[in-house]
Structure 1
Amino acid sequence: MTQTRDSFHSRIGFVLAAAGSAIGLGNIWGFPTQAANNGGGAFLFVYLLVTLLLALPALYAEIYIGNQAQKNPVAALKEACQDTLPNVGKYAGIIGLCGAMMMLSFYTIVAGWMLAHALSAFTELLGLTSISQWLAISSTERNLLFTPLFILLGAAIIHQGVNAGIEKWSARLMPLLLVMLIGLIIYILRQPGAEKGLALYLIPDFSQVTNPKLIISAMGQAFFSLSIGVGGMMVYGSYMQKGKDIGKLAISITALDTFIAFMAGLLIIPALFVAQEAGLEVFSNNELIGEGQLIFKILPELFNSMGNVGLIVSSCFFLLLSIAALTSTISSTEVPVSYLMEDKNLTRSRATWLVSFVVLCASMLLIAFFDELFGLVIRVLTTILQPLSCLFYFIVVGWLWNRGNKLRDKALQEGRKWLPIWGNYLRFVCPLLLSVVFVNVAILN
């Protein structure tokens, strides 16, 4: 059965949807935690550098491949490599599809935590103390309730399609996320101790910027933050008509994503020092206590110490994180959904619920073996699979497409002087930089 391919109806709709994919827990949860543990301003400096030199080109390459093919990531990579290594392209697309499923398996669990904490503060305001405490304490039972709930939320939007679901809800949720973030920053920066956090975050110690651990953390954070390497940006690119200026779109998405990450740092890192000023233990041996669990332990205690106003702030904060998580899960879910629709001829409805069921099973497996699998899956995805996928995108655009440099050939046809330079940068410089980072990863491990 032939199906009419859905698409984005406006440039702003695409940018908001793609930025929504990029702007998620990686920005508001992961970035500030990584920054606080890796030198604050030094990490911010390296992160911005890595984003400019590697993440932005990788985002461009991923969107460009999807836009040129107008197909799902598996079919797009196979087509791009059809004159050289078609099966390699196909299986690289399948690996990216598996990466999207991996991301969803742990992302939906964490997103469930956010939703539970938002409701915890709200129920505390209503005087439902026992329910509030149950929602605030991590447990298998809570995971079993909120993980499926979050998967259902994402499926309900994906089920409606690209324009009626993804584009419409991204246009609603992204402005709300930005307004809430700015309001929380203004509130936190007025609290005692916030100025110490600002100093750590905004004043870099340049002696730390050559630390291999910091560089690797910044690279993994940049790729994870922009949702590169799992096919989400490729499938979004395929829903845009050909002829659009992909360079400007990639810059817009990267700028918005980086801005939100920067703003999240302005919220979380000063909040840590506000908590420290209030007598809470935040750092031990210059490292955050609890790291990933930080915002579920320290910040709720800080908010609770502020009375009813703190509970309102807490509810808004975790609702903000829930919105960010939802916009990201939408794009990752669309990767396997688009594949099943186009290559296996399933309807959008059947594809959506099949993918959601598989993600639910994978999430339940992580919940059952949380200590053994949760951190491992995140490390494999962010430090190995995503960077390797980006390396492959560079090779496809620079070397394999039509047995040559796709952007250089296009430049010769259209007379664009800047495209050969950009094409050669993606062809030579980006693979070399990524390879150097991988060598450092191997040495550290």
Structure 2
Amino acid sequence: MASSNRAQFSSRLGFILAAAGSAVGLGNIWGFPTQAASNGGAVFLITYLVMVFILAYPLLVAELTIGRFGASNPIRSLISVAPKHKLLGSAVGIAGMLGVSGILSFYAIVAGWFFGFLIGPLLSAFGFDSAAAWLEGFGIARNLVLMGVFMLLTVLVVRNGVADGIEKWSTRLMPVLFVLFIAMVGYTLLQPGAMEGLKMFLVPDMSHFSPDLMVSAMGQAFFSLSIGVCTMMVYGSYLRKDANLPKTAAQVALLDTGVAFVAGLLILPAMFVAQKNGVQIYSESGALLDGDTLVFSVLPAMFDTMGSAGLIVGVAFFALMVIAALTSSISMLEVPVACISEELDKDRKTVVWWVGGAIALFSSLIIFNFGSMFGTVISVTTEYVQPILGVIMALIAGWIWKRNEVLEELSHGNPELANSTFWKVWPTYVRVVCPILMALVFFWPLFK
């Protein structure tokens, strides 16, 4: 167990905004709408919501509970709940640390693109067209510079620790993100063509349902809620003992899912607004063009049709994306920084530069081998590493961790928990139902 002087979030709201900030990121605003647009809109939305409710939420509670009980980095926290299985705890903690570093390596590249699209239109407005074109074009040098700038921002926030870094910036940035989001959805829905996108997003066509869609929806639920790669375990370790964990986890999940839903309300109608203005979105076969870069091709085209208002709306949107990316990237970098600084007893202000630098180097490797590595790293980390580690954590919480210790930890913020429906259902659910459901989702495609 860690010492009592361990850093903590100063308020429950600070934690919820930081945890929601971790969850609310490019997974919601870049990943979710792209997945929805590629997988029939409403059908993907419904499957995703089901996956969040039946799989991601129970595992989110498990991760937060392990983190708060251990009150340390993920390696030590997992060992503390499974003292007879130290090798397993260490291996899962290290795998989580490497998995989240892999996610951050591609995340920083994409976030850098958003940074370029934020600055580009402003430079263009002042006559620096060639600089703007460089920032918005695709190239190795541009990708390296923008990734480096974004990683630097992430390192500087994490360097300041929990209360002065992560919590301070999450509580500032998240409200700004929500206001920008709602304003942009309102504006987009009033544009010609938007209703067609809204219909696609909200009216299900079950012909699109498939085993592949289920795997994608599960991966998306895990990715957007930061499950399986120890970010929530680290945040849980900074939580006060009086926090009601099931309730807090539900608030984080609802906030995160709400943002994904609102992102769909923005991006899918925006696609059809752009299409109305002559931008091709789907190929002749009906496949989505440029899935990974959908946001970068469709939205700027829509903004260009708005005249002078387009500049303001475009800058606001990409500012929103950079904010969302930053609140997630700081939670990801915190995992390896917490592990390495505590395990090796090194100063976090030194460790954060070493870890940030190592991840930036791997990001550079992806940039130099973009065609072969980018999609592979995304698929391996979000569709396989995250869910598999999520299952292992469910098995540790359900089978290895002593049930009376779990109840005691969960009861700290909720003394009546022992008699609640949650406690009657959750331990068995995490122990049996979650692993079976995840195995079904994983292996179903093999039998199609």
Q: 2:61 — aligned with what?
A: 60
Q: Deviations over 1:67-114 (max 9, x none)?
A: 11101111111221113x220111011000001110111100100000
Residues of 2 paired with 1:164 and 1:4: CA distance?
15
Partner secondary structure for residue 242 of structure 1:
coil
Note the C-alpha offset of 1:227.
1.0
Measured in 1, the distance between the counterparts of 2:297 and 2:404 equals: 50
8 Å contact from structure 1 (residues 25, 324) kept in 2: yes
Q: CA deviation at 1:440?
A: 2.1
Provide the rounded CA distance (Å) in 2 between the counterparts of 1:410 and 1:135: 49
Which segment is superposed worse, 128-137 or 219-228?
A: 128-137
In 2, are the aligned partners of 1:109 and 1:143 still within 8 Å (CA)? yes
Q: Which amino acid aligns with 1:264?
A: A
CA distance in 2 between counterparts of 1:227 and 1:443 reads 29
Residue among 408, 416, 419 paired with 2:419: 416
Residue equivalent to 2:81: 80
TM-score where L is the length of structure 1: 0.95
Structure 1 pair 371–307 and aligned structure 2 pair: CA distance change class (3 A) = same
Instruction: Give a deviation string over 1:94-139, Cα, whole Å, max 9, x none.
Output: 0000011101111001000000011111112222211111111111
Quick one: distance in 2 between partners of 1:417 and 1:148? 49
Q: Which residue is 2:259 aligned to?
A: 260
Aligned counterparts of 1:52 and 1:411: Cα–Cα separation in 2: 19
Residue 408 and residue 166 in structure 1: after superposition, are their counterparts in 2 closer, same or farther (change >3 A)? closer
Amino acid across the alignment from 2:193: G
Report the Cα distance in structure 1 between the residues aligned to 2:323 and 2:444, rounded to whole angstroms: 35
Aligned residues: 440
- The residue aligned with 2:272 is 273
User: Partners of 1:406 and 1:441 in 2: how far apart?
Assistant: 38
Give the superposition deviation at 1:406.
5.2
For residue 283 of structure 1, give the secondary structure of its aligned residue in structure 2: coil
Structure 1 partner of 2:70: 69
Q: Distance in 2 between the 1:13 and 1:408 partners?
A: 25
Shift of the alpha carbon at 1:242? 2.2
After superposition, the C-alpha distances for 1:33-83 in whole angstroms (9 at most, x for unaligned) are 100111111111111111000011111111111011101111111221113
What's the C-alpha RMSD, in Å, of the aligned pairs?
1.8
2 CA distance for matches of 1:411 and 1:156? 34
Cα drift, residue 408 of structure 1 = 6.0
Q: Residues 64 and 123 (structure 1 numbering): CA distance in 2 closer, same or farther, change over 3 Å?
A: same
Q: Say yes or no: does 1:294 pair with 2:294.
A: yes
Q: Report what 1:236 is aligned to.
A: 235
Corresponding residue of 1:30: 31
Mark the runs of 5 or more structure 1 residues left unpaired by the alignment.
none
Counterpart for residue 437 of structure 1 = 441
Residue 19 (structure 2) aligns with = 18
What residue identity is the alignment partner of 2:111?
A: A
Gaps of 5+ in 2: none
Q: Does 1:314 align with 2:317?
A: no
CA distance in 1, matches of 2:301, 2:198: 21
In structure 1, what is the Cα distance between the partners aligned to 2:121 and 2:101?
A: 31
Identical amino acids, percent of aligned pairs: 44
Question: How far is the alpha carbon of 1:410 from its aligned partner?
Answer: 6.9
Summarize the alignment of residues 338-349 of structure 1 with structure 2, pairs less than 5 Å apart: 338-349=338-349
The Cα of 1:299 is off from its aligned counterpart by 1.9
> Which whole-Å deviations, capped at 9, do the CAs of 1:286-324 have from their partners, x for residues lacking one?
221100111112221221232221122111111111110
Kindly indicate whether residue 222 of structure 2 is the aligned counterpart of residue 223 of structure 1. Answer: yes
State which drifts further: 429-438 or 125-134.
125-134
Equivalence map 1:35-434=2 (5 Å)? 35-83=36-84, 85-209=85-209, 211-284=210-283, 285-402=285-402, 407=406, 415-418=418-421, 419-434=423-438
Q: CA deviation at 1:415?
A: 3.7
* Contact 2:69-2:409 at 8 Å conserved across structures: no
Cα distance in 1, alignment partners of residues 228 and 445 from structure 2: 18
- Whether the aligned pair in 2 keeps the contact of 1:41 and 1:205 (CA below 8 Å) is yes
Q: Report if the CA contact (8 A) 1:366-1:374 is conserved.
A: yes
CA–CA distance in 2 between the matches of 1:6 and 1:410? 19
